[in-house]
Amino acid sequence: MTYTGWILLTASLVGLSCGIVGVFLILRRMAMMADAISHTVLLGIVTAFLITRELSGPHMLIGAIVAGLLTAVLVQWFNSRGVQQDASIGVVFTTLFAIGVILIATQVGNAHLDTKHALMGEITFVPWDLMHVPLLGEVPKATFMLGAVLLVVVIVILTFYKEWKITSFDPALAASIGIPVVLMHYVFMSLVSITTVAAFDAVGAIMVVAMLITPAAAAYLWTDKLSIMLVLSGAFGVISAFTGYYIAVWLDTSISGSMAFATGIVFLISFLFSPKHGVLSRYLHKFNTHGSQEKLDGTS
């Protein structure tokens, strides 16, 4: 595969995995948790590095999952003690992220781990960091990890599809029929953490947040059916990846930043033109209703 092909495949895998997970974040009204976890995993990554002194390996994934779960637990704990959820997210997110930044500045030294890299990522380096995979040959590490994470996300979502659906729309009903709502919540937070850290090194926190929230928000405007929403959100993530890449080539600018910008374009188009919730659709419906009412008034 070509250099460009690996970049597009990697970004598309980010769009698919984040798009699918993002739908449930939107439905659970937890969009800002995506922002929080995508930043607080930095603390988990730095801590794992400080313990092992290695920049790659399963310990990075474990550290990020622990940081993501710690974020979810602390937000839930503060919220249960009377602090508003948005305030809880803000306090936990900024504090844990700040600790990660301080550790990078004071403890990491010359390792290839810095705040600029963490925020923006560097997807152009992905095709050069290779690993050998049986039957596939030489494959970029980030692409392989993202493919594995997408497979895990799809399996978990499909296996417990009914449970995710009920706990997302009506957690009280889910609890009443015996579904372990709290356990499902933390399993979901683990999925968010895994997805985030898999994309973190390649594309950075900004694109992770954009891919987790914006395609799902756009898909929500097009349909009320969960299965279609999941497909649309993943598709919008892939479209944003391709569009953003060619915008970056055209403007000679950041690829990850351009892909994040492309998610905004997709959302804007959806906001204006989606058949049910779009601004133009609502205007036309209002115009047609008003015209019909005038006709009725004229004939009466």
pTM listed for this prediction: 0.84
Tokens of 131: 């690993």
Residue 216: per-residue pLDDT: 94
> In CATH, what number is assigned to the domain containing residue 39?
1.10.3470.10
Identify which of 246, 270, 268 has the alpha carbon closest to the alpha carbon of residue 259. Answer: 246
Quick one: DSSP state of residue 107?
A: I
Which long-range contacts link 245-249 to residues 24+ away (Cβ below 8 Å)?
A: 245/4, 245/7, 245/8, 245/11
Which residues does 142 contact at the CB level (< 8 Å), separation at least 6? 10, 126, 129, 198, 201, 202
105 inside domain: yes
44 inside domain: yes
Contact 207, 14 (CB under 8 A): yes
Average the pLDDT over each of 29-33, 160-164, 169-173 and give the range with the smallest value.
29-33
Q: Which residue has the higher pLDDT, 205 or 118?
A: 205
Q: Is the pLDDT of residue 2 over 80?
A: yes
Quick one: DSSP state of residue 126?
A: G
240 inside domain: no
Residue 56: per-residue pLDDT: 64
Residue 295: per-residue pLDDT: 57
Which residues does 88 contact at the CB level (< 8 Å), separation at least 6? 74, 75, 76, 78, 79
Convert the pLDDT of each residue in 188-225 to its tens digit: 888 888 888 778 767 777 788 889 999 999 999 999 89
In the block, which residue shows the tokens 């019909």? 292
144 inside domain: yes
Q: Is the pLDDT of residue 110 over 60?
A: no
For the chain, the domain total comes to 1
Angle (nearest 5°) at CA 88 between 191 and 71: 30
Residue 153: per-residue pLDDT: 93
Q: Which residue has the higher pLDDT, 132 or 295?
A: 132
Q: Which residue has the higher pLDDT, 149 or 61?
A: 149
270 inside domain: no
Written as one string, the DSSP assignment of 5-16 is HHHHHHHHHHHH
| Percent of the residues in the chain that have a pLDDT greater than 70, as a whole number | 89
Domain coverage including residue 56: 3-213
